[in-house]
Structure 1
Amino acid sequence: MSSTTRGRPSTFSRDRAILGAARLFWRHGYSGTSTRTLTTELGISTSSLYAAFGSKAGLFEETVRTYAERYREIYQQAVAEPDVLAVIERVLVDSVGEFTQSSEVHPGCLISSAALADSTSTLDARAYIADLQASNAEALLTRLRQAASDGELRPGVSPETLTSFIQSVWHGLSAQSNLGAGRDELLDTARLTLRLIARQTLATSSQA
């Protein structure tokens, strides 16, 4: 038996453990979540937690990366779309889908959570998320610059300004989801944003 599985109960689910830990970290932060609280929530012993994740810090790092990296995937898939409005639609609509997943399978959006106020010796969550968001924004900006070069945007429309606007809406949707806004409400906002962008920035508004 390997060292990574020794001491864990036969019913141990790594995914469920990460989800349960994420709920605690998101709510209370890293420092505010004790190892005892984690083991009680996950239904495992301290030795099992260490066998599975190495340490409390290792568990925290894995929870942050597990849920934050999904946003990178959304942006990477979005910028691969051939149509610029489809790019923006996927960024906003797919993110709303991520923000509003059932609490049974998702701990909520990390971006506005208590976890960002804390750091560990292995991962500075605030810096990690800032770098992730900068990477996502840069990927979107590169795609919008290509759209401008291809004539998809109206002359004079700044890809930088449009990127900033989309990112501002994205953060607003994230914040609203954490305040309890439902999926339909957030989708309405996302689709209004798409209509405004189509009318004001695209070379043809026939897609609105």
Structure 2
Amino acid sequence: MADKSPGRPREFDRDDALRAAATLFWQYGFSGTSTRALATSLGISSSSLYAAFGSKADLFDEAVRTYALRYSAVYDVALAEPTLAQVIFRLLAGSIREFVRTDDGHPGCLTSSAVMVDTSATLDVRTFVTDLQRRDEGRLRDRIERSVLAGDVPPGIDAATLSGLVQTLWHGLSTRADLGADVTELTSTAELAVALLSLERSAGVSR
């Protein structure tokens, strides 16, 4: 008898599986998404799903962490911009593109959607997301403080207040994306926000 292979080959692409799972969680919430529905969407058996991800909570945890890190990566790009106006606009515009990624088939921001408070089973990943967002806000605040010292912003700007305002805009844009706003509408809002902050004089905020 031929020896069995040491492990069964994966029947799916993990990244594709995470995207499919995230879409279901967005649509139906953690509690409303059954393991059977997940397995069907991923094109695998329930036993293969458990083998690959563990429990449904483990799959949710990995999907949320994956998307949270993608959102956080937007900060890496934005914070490298030369002026504060460009930093804020790139942060908002880059996040908008993530919120409305039609190739992933999702309606908005998973990390700020109602599914995050669906059940106590998501407490660990909620803590992870909260800590990550606080870290990113701290990175933005530090960048604003450097701009204040460099005279890159109008006088009287408080770094903590401005970083809080930008994070509030971020969450508002993500919520509107959840409600179906498209990239053009959301980007126009971001442009207007930077203009109202009187930061547009610092340098181009064109798309």
Scaled to the shorter chain, the TM-score interval is 0.7 to 0.9
The sequence identity of aligned pairs, in percent, is 47
Q: 1:146 to 1:155 in 2, by over 3 A?
A: same
1:180 aligned counterpart, secondary structure: coil
Structure 1: which 4+ aligned runs deviate by more than 6 Å? none
Please, which moves more after superposition, 125-134 or 188-197?
Answer: 125-134
Asked whether the equivalents of residues 35 and 46 of structure 2 are also in contact (C-alpha less than 8 Å), the reply is yes
Partners of 1:58 and 1:2 lie apart in 2 by 24
2:153 aligned counterpart, secondary structure: coil
Report what 2:153 is aligned to. 153
Asked whether the equivalents of residues 74 and 95 of structure 1 are also in contact (C-alpha less than 8 Å), the reply is yes
TM-score (norm 2): 0.86
Report what 1:188 is aligned to. 188
Asked whether the equivalents of residues 85 and 202 of structure 2 are also in contact (C-alpha less than 8 Å), the reply is no
Report what 1:92 is aligned to. 92
Asked whether the equivalents of residues 152 and 202 of structure 2 are also in contact (C-alpha less than 8 Å), the reply is no
- Count, aligned residues: 198
Asked whether the equivalents of residues 27 and 114 of structure 1 are also in contact (C-alpha less than 8 Å), the reply is no
Determine whether 1:74 maps to 2:74: yes
* Deviation for aligned residue 1:2: 5.4
Match runs of 1:51-70 below 5 Å: 51-70=51-70
Report what 1:178 is aligned to. 178
Cα-to-partner distance string for 1:29-75 (whole Å, 9 max, x where unaligned): 32322211211222211121122223322211110111111111001
* Deviation for aligned residue 1:119: 3.7
Match runs of 1:1-208 below 5 Å: 1=5, 3=7, 6=8, 8-9=10-11, 12-102=12-102, 104-107=103-106, 108-117=108-117, 118-120=119-121, 124-197=124-197, 199=198, 202=199, 205=201, 207=203
Q: Which runs of 5+ in 1 are unaligned?
A: none
* Deviation for aligned residue 1:157: 1.2
Partners of 1:54 and 1:126 lie apart in 2 by 19
Q: 1:150 to 1:27 in 2, by over 3 A?
A: same
* Deviation for aligned residue 1:91: 0.7
Partners of 2:65 and 2:112 lie apart in 1 by 15
More helix per residue: 1 or 2? 2
Asked whether the equivalents of residues 28 and 114 of structure 1 are also in contact (C-alpha less than 8 Å), the reply is no
* TM-align CA RMSD: 2.1
Asked whether the equivalents of residues 21 and 63 of structure 2 are also in contact (C-alpha less than 8 Å), the reply is yes
Match of 2:91, as an amino acid?
V
Partners of 1:23 and 1:119 lie apart in 2 by 20
* Deviation for aligned residue 1:125: 3.1
Partners of 2:164 and 2:6 lie apart in 1 by 48
* Deviation for aligned residue 1:95: 0.8
Q: 1:149 to 1:132 in 2, by over 3 A?
A: same
Asked whether the equivalents of residues 67 and 110 of structure 1 are also in contact (C-alpha less than 8 Å), the reply is yes
Q: Which runs of 5+ in 2 are unaligned?
A: none
Partners of 1:120 and 1:206 lie apart in 2 by 45
